[in-house]
């Protein structure tokens, strides 16, 4: 049985539909990440799951039980927000034990649970401090600690790392993954940062305009994005897109003319062609690390490198190709090639999309 199951969930604010029909099952113990651009509905979906919002339509079940009418406190979940929401006048230990105190847990039992959670998060030496005496990362750990002591069956995280600096984010990401491994409790995590999503998730749910674009493992989303939106959103730096036109449809393949490439036509394998016809527009997606520099590939494309970024051990080259649009290329080494560069397009690494953005193949 799925731990959390959403069926036909719609959420309207007045006439605006923020969530537009979501069906989603999250397995027990999974680390699910909701990712998508600002305003796509990630936080609203999380708030619907935790009971802070009520669906306009559809149902939410936890372990087969309908959550309609069940308040957040009755859902056995703990939520960690971006703004840690710690009580400034209380010690770390009191902050962590607050929910237990409210629930009437006796002092000794409270202390034991707080000590255990503090040990898990390695914040035992901080228990007597006030929040203002802590760093951002330590505060975040206390906020997570406060969630852990309640032994919830589901953790919800709403962009919990976005107030931390880059280094701490990476460290906390590692700690969250480790925490999930140790507790084996279902976690749902919201972020707009696709790198965070890729590194933490068992399953990623890509949202856009209140709808699901794709659900899959990080590798599935990266290797086989179902549409241009997901292809463009997942992966850093972003995928390159070349625009062309279908010139022939031989069996199980498509022949495409892309301005500026040599030879003038590129033939790619294509088993599912849908209603594609000769003369239709088409888009080829290729990731910056899949473009070949120099020899090789099914076709070549000359570009002029406009500027380069050194990223340690490799460089990103940025090149406006006069006809195909701007391209980003990952180039190993420390020396950026000068002048015109010949790029090779490897047939097997190309993603093919219709002009409406649907994946073909
Ligand atoms: P961000 O990454 O910027 O936090 P998000 O993906 O979490 O964005 P939501 O906060 O879920 O997006 O909002 C989705 C849409 O619903 C937005 O257009 C937002 O303006 C709208 N919205 C959210 N809450 C309300 C509300 N209480 N009343 C009216 N509109 C709302």
Greatest Cα pair distance, the chain, in angstroms, is: 78
Q: Count how many domains the chain has.
A: 2
Question: Among residues 233, 267, 293, which one ends one of the domains?
Answer: 233
Cis before 32 (ω within 30): no
d(CA 357, CA 171): 36
Closest residue to atom 19 of ligand 1, CA basis: 39
pTM for the complete prediction? 0.90
Residue 8: predicted pLDDT: 98
Distance between CA atoms of residues 226 and 72, nearest Å: 35
92 touches 144 (CB < 8 A): no
Residue 307 lies in domain: 240-354
Minimal-distance CA residue to ligand 1 atom 24: 44
CA 100 to chain centroid, in Å, comes to 33
Please name the residue whose Cα sits nearest to atom 26 of ligand 1. 13
pLDDT of amino acid 163:
76
Same domain for 347 and 258: yes
Residues 97 and 112: beta-carbon distance below 8 Å = no
Q: Report strand pairing: 203-208 vs 211-216.
A: antiparallel
State in Å: Cα 174 to ligand 1 middle. Answer: 28
Q: Give the sign of the dihedral formed by CA 90, CA 93, CA 98, CA 104.
A: negative
**Nearest-angstrom CA–CA distance, 333 and 97:** 52
Q: What pLDDT does 321 receive?
A: 66
Q: Is residue 106 part of a domain?
A: yes
| pLDDT, position 215 | 98
The reply to whether 228 and 272 lie within a common domain is no
Other CB atoms within 10 Å distance of the CB of residue 174: 12
By the 8 A CB rule, do 92 and 129 touch?
Answer: yes
Pocket test for ligand 1, best of 40, 197, 207 (most atoms within 8 A of CB): 40
Distance CA 324, CA 179 (A): 46
How many CB atoms are located within 10 Å of the residue 86 CB? 21
pLDDT of the residue at 2: 65
- Indicate whether 360 belongs to any domain: no
**Pocket around ligand 1 at a 6 A CB cut-off:** 13, 16, 18, 36, 38-44, 192
Residues 279 and 310 reside in one and the same domain:
yes
Q: 63 lies in a domain? A: yes
Domain end position, chosen among 233, 250, 268:
233
The last residue of one of the domains, among 233, 259, 292, is: 233
For each successive 10 residues of the chain (361 residues), what is the average pLDDT? 89 97 96 95 96 97 96 90 84 93 91 90 92 88 88 91 81 87 92 91 96 97 96 93 94 92 91 89 94 85 89 89 77 83 92 94 74
Say if the ipTM goes beyond 0.95.
yes
Is position 259 within any domain?
yes
CATH assignment of the domain containing 318: 2.40.50.140
CATH number, residue 204: 3.40.50.300
Distance between Cα 158 and ligand 1 center (Å) = 13
What local confidence, expressed as pLDDT, does residue 324 receive? 60
Distance from the alpha carbon of residue 41 to the mean position of ligand 1, in angstroms: 6
Q: Which atom of ligand 1 is nearest to the CA of 36?
A: 6
């Amino acid at each position: 049985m799925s731990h959390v199951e959403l069926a036909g969930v719609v959420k309207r604010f007045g006439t605006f539909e923020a969530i537009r029909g979501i069906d989603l099952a999250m397995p027990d113990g999974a680390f699910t990440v909701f990712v998508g651009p600002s305003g796509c509905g990630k936080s609203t979906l999380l708030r619907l799951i935790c009971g802070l919002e009520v669906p306009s339509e559809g149902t939410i079940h936890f372990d087969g039980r309908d959550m309609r009418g069940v308040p957040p406190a009755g859902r056995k979940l703990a939520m960690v927000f971006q703004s840690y929401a710690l009580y400034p006048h209380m010690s770390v230990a009191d902050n962590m034990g607050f929910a237990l105190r409210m629930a009437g847990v006796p002092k000794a039992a409270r202390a034991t649970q707080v000590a255990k959670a503090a040990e898990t998060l390695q914040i035992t030496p901080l228990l007597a401090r006030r929040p203002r005496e802590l760093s951002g990362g330590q505060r975040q750990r206390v906020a997570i600690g406060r969630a852990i002591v309640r032994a919830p069956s589901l953790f919800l995280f709403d962009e919990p790392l976005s107030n931390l600096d880059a280094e701490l984010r990476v460290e906390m990401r590692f700690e969250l993954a480790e925490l999930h491994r140790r507790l084996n409790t279902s976690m749902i995590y919201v972020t707009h940062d696709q790198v965070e999503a890729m590194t933490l998730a068992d399953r990623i749910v890509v949202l856009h305009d209140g709808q699901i674009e794709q659900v899959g493992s990080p590798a599935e989303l990266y290797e086989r994005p179902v549409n241009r939106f997901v292809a463009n959103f997942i992966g850093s730096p972003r995928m390159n897109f070349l625009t062309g036109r279908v010139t022939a449809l031989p069996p199980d393949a498509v022949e495409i003319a892309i301005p500026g490439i040599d030879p003038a036509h590129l033939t790619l394998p294509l088993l599912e062609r849908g209603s594609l016809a000769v003369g239709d527009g088409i888009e080829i997606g290729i990731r910056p690390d899949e473009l070949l520099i120099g020899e090789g590939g099914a076709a070549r494309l000359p570009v002029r490198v406009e500027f380069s970024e050194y990223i340690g051990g490799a460089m990103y080259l940025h090149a406006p190709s006069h006809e195909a649009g701007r391209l980003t290329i990952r180039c190993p080494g420390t020396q950026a090639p000068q002048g015109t560069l010949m790029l090779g397009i490897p047939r097997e690494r190309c993603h093919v999309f219709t002009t409406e953005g649907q994946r073909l193949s």
